[in-house]
Chains A and B, each alone.
Chain A
Amino acid sequence: MQKSSGLKVILLTSIFLVYAAGCQQHESPEPTRIINKETHEAEELLEELEPITTAVAITSGKKLYAAAEVKQMDRFQLESVRKTGYDRLSKRWPDYNIHFSTDKKAMLELQNLNKDMSAIKMKKKEREQRLTKIEEFMKG
């Protein structure tokens, strides 16, 4: 009996802690650095959409890679969010090859690339390599 009440206390405490952590105010995400006018515009275009919280975009030649984070409740409509985002970008840049995804890994990698590109002068080959990898993640 003593043992089971101890287990209950541990479980209830952990439930409380997890929920308290969930209710905490989220720290605002690190803003993306502006690499060029197009990426900045693409990010703003995506962030204007209601379900999207943050977005990141990178261009390479005539290719535009973009990823976005979607609000919790709107994640039920991920497919339609992807479609609206893609339509919006392809309407603005009709002659570009656009890749848009809501995948977390693609978002993380694009953010890292964005950070690295602003910090160091990156070779085109390396950038292309990383972008091809990101494209793979977007397929999922």
Chain B
Amino acid sequence: MSQQKEDLKTTYQKFASKDEPKRPVVANCIKAFFIGGLICIAGQAIQNFFLYNFDFNEQTAGNPTIAVLILIAVLLTGFGIYDKFAQFAGAGSAVPVTGFANAMASAAIEYRTEGPVFGIGSNMFKLAGPVIVFGTTAAFVIALIKTLWIQIGG
């Protein structure tokens, strides 16, 4: 009986996968590459603006550049434009800092009705929280490896 059930399951899966639309992985990668690159060009333009017009050098100009990019992404999320753009762009719009801003802002908008503290406050990091957790953990582990490497190597 159980053997029969298993057979039925695999047959069904085979049958279903035949009609499933194939994910265009290569096309998605190319799209993400170009659109991610476009966002970075915009970032570079903003950085150059700060370099040419204000007293920032290459390193310190990074901070206001990121702030402006985040502001733009949050505004676009609020107006509902970023969603449509992200549907087309995929990972190209999720990987840069704009994707992180979008994750925070969209969660905040979604839980707005539940109140400022228990709604926005506690749910804002639902999507973006893992990024912070794993980002910090990964940074710690890599720093540890680097320190050990230098201690042994030098």
Contact = CB atoms under 8 A, between A and B. Distances in A.
Interface of A: 4, 7-8, 11, 14-15, 18, 103-106, 108, 133, 136-138, 140
B88 interface: yes
A140 B58 contact: yes
Interface of B: 34-35, 38, 41, 51-52, 55-61, 84-85, 88
B82 to A, nearest CB: 12
Contacts of A140: 57-60
Given A4-B88, A7-B84, A106 B57 contact: yes
14 contacts: A4-B84, A7-B88, A11-B35, A14-B38, A15-B34, A18-B38, A18-B41, A103-B59, A104-B51, A105-B56, A106-B57, A133-B55, A136-B57, A137-B57
A100 to B, nearest CB: 14
A59 B84 CA distance: 55
Given A7-B88, A104-B51, A138-B57, 4 more contacts: A11-B35, A11-B38, A104-B57, A140-B57
Contacts of B57: 103-106, 136-138, 140
Contacts of B35: 11, 15
A65 to B, nearest CB: 14
